[in-house]
């Protein structure tokens, strides 16, 4: 592979990195929306006489559960892409996000019996959006010409 | 420099993708497999005997472990299973399953020692169906588990179950083919075995089931009534056919918990205002006397919105709610000899429930584990006839699990290390909450291959299933295959 090809591939990977990081941010926003959908859905069902017990779930909760797995896949993809993309601290940020995803699953599982941990699950989720935002910004800046970067 | 970076990237990509791919491939479940080939044998410290896990020659076949093949049945019932839109007793219409046109299906009542014969006819349950006798210690071939003790009965087919009614108590029957969907849809009914001597108590059966996510008692939503004269002693047989714990109890008068899972409680003390936590699949018999002051009894099924008012017509409905306390079977009742020597068991098993992310048959998700293994790579508990078995069931999976062992009743010895001090507590459906650990014991006195699974049926379909098998018993039934056996 020639040096030019490498640069082009690096630029493509950087664009992919940026898109994946933005998808993580958007995904976190959707996850928050699904939680609210699920909570209000449960209250509405309870008002309608639906049995809300251990076996209960609703569309909002199902979307949130599916969204969690989908976000994990996106973050893994981001981690892989980070090794091809030339983004300052790009690998570190992707690694941190991967760790936060693992923590998110652990918190989700333990929160069933210790609901208070659900608050950390929510905060960790928002923090993920923050880290993904930083990652996306770094990828945009890295793509800009040198002078612009120097001016920051 | 760039080349090294690229190589590193490829290495990381492979480091992520290769294990994922490997986990995915190894999670795939074959299209057809024998329950006996599943997982790995766990002999619990006992001898392996004549049986080896991959070896199926000789021994007794599950299909031969039937009830009496001859003799005139004392109770003969034909149950016709249909998939249809059914009208609940309270009027709502739901899509589900019926037996003889109704759900819950007809009450089957037998006396201890009666020969019971049930002919199951599948008229229109596509995908096939079976009937499992939950809590009844039937011979293995009558247990009704598709792919383990029989083939699913196809549309147009029939299957005859014959067994001698064992110990008096409250039981139920339900499909064990695609049981998650079929039980939820109502393919179930109550079974009551009574002592041969007539009882002086009025029996009320309360089958609790949620149709289309609406909880009912005997197919009625909301509050329904049973007319019983004042002063009558009533035995309410509560059956939890749903997937999660049900808080029940009687208000309007003190009640006693006289039987649990078809086994009498010794020395049951009066309970005033406390609730009773009934596990999924479990049954409890509550006894109370209808007051003579013009008021009625009220049996709650998870709050008073779904309840059964028991009393004379027009009797005042009690307004009080169940209190915060619950009956704890670990200390309830008075001790008595349990008839099981548990100090020197022949085998000791561990049934440790966990959960971890991964693939199940290629699907990513959070999946249950048994002793750290995911379905179908789970332990197969092997016992010999006559063994006394101790088992520790512990749960660190984050969610509660109502554990159901087929074909046996187990004695609860302790919870979280605290010994049971009340009445002998025999159970077939034991709620194990997250973080809890129960030690139980049972006598292996019913040869065969028996499911040992979570009765939150979606959990079972997500792999929280294993088997208890007797050495020397062979099983030719297969899960999957041409009969589309799918027990969960």
Taking an 8 Å cut-off on Cβ atoms, the answer to whether B16 and A49 are in contact is no
Please check the confidence at residue A18 and state whether its pLDDT lies above 60.
yes
Answer whether B129's CB lies under 8 Å from B181's CB: no
How does pLDDT run across B263-303, given as a tens digit for each residue? 999 999 999 999 999 999 999 999 999 999 999 999 999 98
Q: What is the pLDDT of residue B50?
A: 53
- Mean pLDDT score, A131-152: 77
Fold entry, domain B199-327? Immunoglobulin-like (2.60.40)
Please check the confidence at residue B198 and state whether its pLDDT lies above 90.
no
CA distance A25 to A31: 10
**DSSP structure class, residue B485:** B
Nearest CB to B364: which of A54, A69, A79? A69
- Mean pLDDT score, A119-142: 96
CA distance B63 to B118: 17
Q: What is the pLDDT of residue B51?
A: 47
Q: What is the pLDDT of residue B296?
A: 98
Q: What is the pLDDT of residue B1?
A: 59
Q: How confident is the model at residue A150 (pLDDT cuts 50, 70, 90)?
A: very low
Q: What SS3 class is residue B8?
A: helix
Q: How confident is the model at residue A10 (pLDDT cuts 50, 70, 90)?
A: low
How does pLDDT run across B20-53, given as a tens digit for each residue? 899 999 889 888 888 888 889 999 999 886 544 4
Q: How many Å lie between the alpha carbon of A106 and the closest alpha carbon of chain B? A: 9
Q: How confident is the model at residue B2 (pLDDT cuts 50, 70, 90)?
A: low
Q: Is residue A31 part of a domain?
A: yes
Question: In sequence order, what DSSP letters do the residues of B73-122 get, joined into one string?
Answer: -SEEEEEEEEEEEEE-TTS-EEEEEEETTBSS-PPEEEETTPEEEEEEEE
Please check the confidence at residue B343 and state whether its pLDDT lies above 90.
yes
- Return the residue in A1, A5, A54 with the most chain B beta carbons within 10 A, the one to mutate for interface testing: A54
Q: What is the pLDDT of residue B185?
A: 97
Q: What is the pLDDT of residue B200?
A: 86
Q: What is the pLDDT of residue A19?
A: 97
Q: Is residue A152 part of a domain?
A: no
Look up tokens 């294990």; give the residue.
B19
Q: What is the pLDDT of residue B167?
A: 95
Q: What is the pLDDT of residue A110?
A: 86
Q: What is the pLDDT of residue B231?
A: 97
Look up tokens 């940026």; give the residue.
A18
Q: Give the lowest-confidence range in B6-10, B72-76, B424-428.
A: B6-10
Q: What is the pLDDT of residue A8?
A: 62
Q: How many Å lie between the alpha carbon of B141 and the closest alpha carbon of chain A? A: 31
Residues of A in contact with B5 (CB under 8 A): 83-84
Range of the domain at A123: 3-143
Q: Is residue A150 part of a domain?
A: no
CA distance B343 to B351: 19
Q: How many Å lie between the alpha carbon of B72 and the closest alpha carbon of chain A? A: 42
**In this predicted complex, what is the ipTM?**
0.74
Q: Is residue A149 part of a domain?
A: no
Q: Is residue A44 part of a domain?
A: yes
Answer whether A17's CB lies under 8 Å from A139's CB: yes
CA distance B350 to B391: 6
Residue B7, Cβ density class (10 Å: 0-12 exposed, 13-18 middle, ≥19 buried): exposed
Please check the confidence at residue B244 and state whether its pLDDT lies above 90.
yes
Evaluate whether B65-197 and B199-327 have a shared fold.
yes
Taking an 8 Å cut-off on Cβ atoms, the answer to whether B221 and A49 are in contact is yes
What share of chain B has pLDDT > 90, as a percent? 84
Q: What is the pLDDT of residue A132?
A: 98
Please check the confidence at residue A74 and state whether its pLDDT lies above 60.
yes
Taking an 8 Å cut-off on Cβ atoms, the answer to whether B243 and A109 are in contact is no
Non-local CB neighbours of A107 within 8 Å, separated by 6+ positions: A117, A118, A120, A121, A124
Please check the confidence at residue B189 and state whether its pLDDT lies above 80.
yes
Q: Is residue A28 part of a domain?
A: yes
Architecture of the domain made up of B31-61+337-480: Sandwich (2.60)
Structural domains in chain A (count): 1
Please check the confidence at residue B455 and state whether its pLDDT lies above 50.
yes
Q: What is the pLDDT of residue A148?
A: 47
Q: How confident is the model at residue B466 (pLDDT cuts 50, 70, 90)?
A: very high
CA R_g for chain B: 24
Q: How confident is the model at residue A147 (pLDDT cuts 50, 70, 90)?
A: low
- Mean pLDDT score, A137-148: 77
Taking an 8 Å cut-off on Cβ atoms, the answer to whether A53 and B399 are in contact is no
Q: Is residue A85 part of a domain?
A: yes
Non-local CB neighbours of B363 within 8 Å, separated by 6+ positions: none
Q: How many Å lie between the alpha carbon of A116 and the closest alpha carbon of chain B? A: 14
Q: What SS3 class is residue B141?
A: helix
How does pLDDT run across B110-140, given as a tens digit for each residue? 999 999 999 999 999 999 999 999 999 999 9
* Cα–Cα distances in angstroms (integers) from residue B236 to residues B247, B285, B293, in the given order: 14, 5, 20
Q: How confident is the model at residue A63 (pLDDT cuts 50, 70, 90)?
A: very high
Nearest CB to A6: which of B2, B214, B246? B2
In the CATH scheme, what is the code of domain B65-197?
2.60.40.420
Please check the confidence at residue A146 and state whether its pLDDT lies above 60.
no
Nearest CB to A80: which of B13, B243, B364? B13
Q: Which 3-state string (H, E, C) describes chain A? A: CCHHHHHHHHHHHHHHHHHHHHHHHHHHHHHHHHHHHHHHHHHHHHHCCCCCCCCCCCHHHHHHHHHHHHHHHHHHHHHHHHCCCCCCCHHHHHHHHHHHHHHHHHHHHHHCCCCCHHHHHHHHHHHHHHHHHHHHHHHHHHHCCHHHHHCC
Q: Is residue A118 part of a domain?
A: yes
Q: How confident is the model at residue A152 (pLDDT cuts 50, 70, 90)?
A: very low
| More confident: B92 or B54 | B92
Q: What is the pLDDT of residue A149?
A: 47
Q: What is the pLDDT of residue B282?
A: 98
- State the pTM of this model: 0.90
Q: What SS3 class is residue B35?
A: helix
Mean pLDDT, chain B, rounded, equals: 94
Q: How many Å lie between the alpha carbon of A49 and the closest alpha carbon of chain B? A: 7
Question: In sequence order, what DSSP letters do the residues of B237-280 get, joined into one string?
Answer: EEEE-SSS-EEEEEESS-BEEEEETTEEPSSPPPB-S-BEEE-T
- Mean pLDDT score, A75-83: 94
Chain B residue set in contact with A, beta carbons under 8 Å: 2, 5-6, 8-9, 12-13, 16-17, 210, 213-215, 221, 242-246, 302, 305, 355, 357, 364-366, 397-400, 433-435, 456, 458
Please check the confidence at residue B217 and state whether its pLDDT lies above 60.
yes
**Residue whose C-alpha is closest to residue B153's, from B177, B132, B172, B137:** B177
Q: What is the pLDDT of residue B55?
A: 47
Q: Give the lowest-confidence range in A17-31, A106-120, B441-455.
A: A106-120
Please check the confidence at residue B471 and state whether its pLDDT lies above 90.
yes
Q: Give the lowest-confidence range in A103-107, B154-158, B254-258.
A: A103-107
Q: What is the pLDDT of residue B31?
A: 86
Q: What residue segments make up the domains of chain B, in order of their start?
A: 31-61+337-480, 65-197, 199-327
| More confident: A84 or B75 | B75
Q: What is the pLDDT of residue A1?
A: 46
Q: How confident is the model at residue B153 (pLDDT cuts 50, 70, 90)?
A: very high
């Amino acid at each position: 592979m020639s040096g030019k090809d490498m640069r082009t591939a690096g630029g493509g990977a950087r664009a992919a990195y940026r898109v994946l990081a933005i998808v993580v941010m958007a995904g976190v926003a959707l996850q928050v929306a699904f939680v609210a959908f699920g909570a209000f859905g449960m209250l509405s069902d309870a008002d309608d006489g639906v049995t809300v017990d251990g076996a209960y779930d609703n569309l909002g909760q199902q979307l949130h559960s599916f969204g969690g797995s989908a976000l994990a896949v996106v973050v893994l993809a981001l981690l892989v892409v980070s090794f091809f993309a030339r983004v300052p601290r790009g690998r570190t940020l992707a690694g941190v996000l991967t760790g936060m995803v693992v923590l998110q699953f652990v918190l989700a599982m333990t929160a069933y019996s210790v609901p208070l941990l659900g608050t950390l699950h929510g905060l960790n989720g928002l923090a993920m959006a923050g880290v993904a935002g930083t990652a996306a910004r770094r990828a945009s800046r890295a793509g800009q010409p040198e002078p612009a970067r120097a001016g920051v | 420099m760039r080349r090294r970076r690229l190589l590193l990237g490829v290495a990381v990509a492979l480091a992520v993708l290769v294990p994922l791919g490997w986990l995915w491939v190894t999670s795939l479940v074959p299209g057809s497999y024998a329950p006996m080939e599943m997982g790995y044998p766990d002999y619990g410290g006992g001898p392996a005997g004549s049986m080896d896990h991959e070896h199926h020659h000789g021994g007794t076949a599950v299909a031969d472990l039937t009830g009496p093949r001859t003799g005139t049945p004392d109770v003969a019932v034909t149950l016709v299973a249909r998939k249809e839109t059914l009208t609940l007793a309270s009027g709502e219409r739901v899509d589900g399953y019926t037996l003889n046109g109704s759900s819950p299906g007809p009450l089957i009542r037998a006396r201890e020692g009666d020969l019971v014969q049930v002919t199951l006819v599948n008229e229109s349950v596509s995908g096939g169906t079976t009937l499992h006798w939950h809590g009844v210690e039937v011979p293995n071939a009558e247990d009704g588990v598709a792919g383990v003790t029989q083939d699913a009965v196809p549309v147009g087919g029939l299957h005859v179950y014959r067994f001698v009614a064992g110990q008096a108590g409250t039981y139920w029957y339900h499909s064990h083919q695609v049981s998650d969907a079929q039980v939820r849809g109502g393919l179930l009914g109550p079974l009551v075995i009574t002592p041969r001597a007539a009882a002086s108590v009025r029996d009320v059966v309360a089958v609790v089931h949620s149709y289309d996510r609406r909880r009912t008692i005997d197919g009625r939503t909301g509050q329904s009534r049973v007319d019983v004269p004042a002063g009558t002693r009533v035995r309410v047989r509560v059956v939890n056919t749903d997937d999660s714990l049900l808080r029940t109890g009687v208000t309007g008068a003190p009640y006693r918990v006289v039987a649990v899972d078809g086994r009498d409680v010794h020395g049951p003390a009066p309970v005033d205002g406390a609730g009773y936590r009934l596990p999924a699949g479990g049954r409890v018999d509550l006894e109370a006397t209808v007051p003579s002051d013009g008021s009625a009894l009220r049996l709650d099924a998870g709050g008073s919105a779904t309840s059964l008012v028991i009393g004379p017509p027009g009797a005042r409905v009690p307004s009080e709610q169940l209190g915060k306390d619950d009956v704890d079977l670990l200390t309830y009742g008075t001790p008595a000899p349990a008839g099981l020597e548990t100090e020197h068991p022949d085998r000791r098993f561990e049934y440790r429930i966990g959960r971890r992310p991964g693939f199940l048959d290629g699907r990513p998700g959070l999946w249950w584990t048994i002793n750290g293994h995911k379905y179908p790579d789970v332990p197969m508990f092997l016992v010999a006839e006559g063994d006394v078995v101790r088992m520790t069931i512990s749960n660190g999976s984050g969610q509660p699990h109502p554990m159901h062992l087929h074909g046996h009743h187990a004695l609860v010895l302790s919870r979280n290390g605290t010994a049971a001090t009340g009445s002998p507590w025999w159970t077939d459906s034991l709620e194990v909450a997250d973080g809890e650990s129960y030690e139980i014991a049972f006598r292996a006195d019913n040869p065969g291959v028996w499911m040992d699974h979570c009765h939150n049926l979606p959990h079972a379909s997500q792999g929280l299933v294993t088997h208890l098998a007797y050495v020397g018993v062979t099983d030719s039934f297969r899960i999957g295959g041409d009969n589309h056996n799918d027990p969960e």
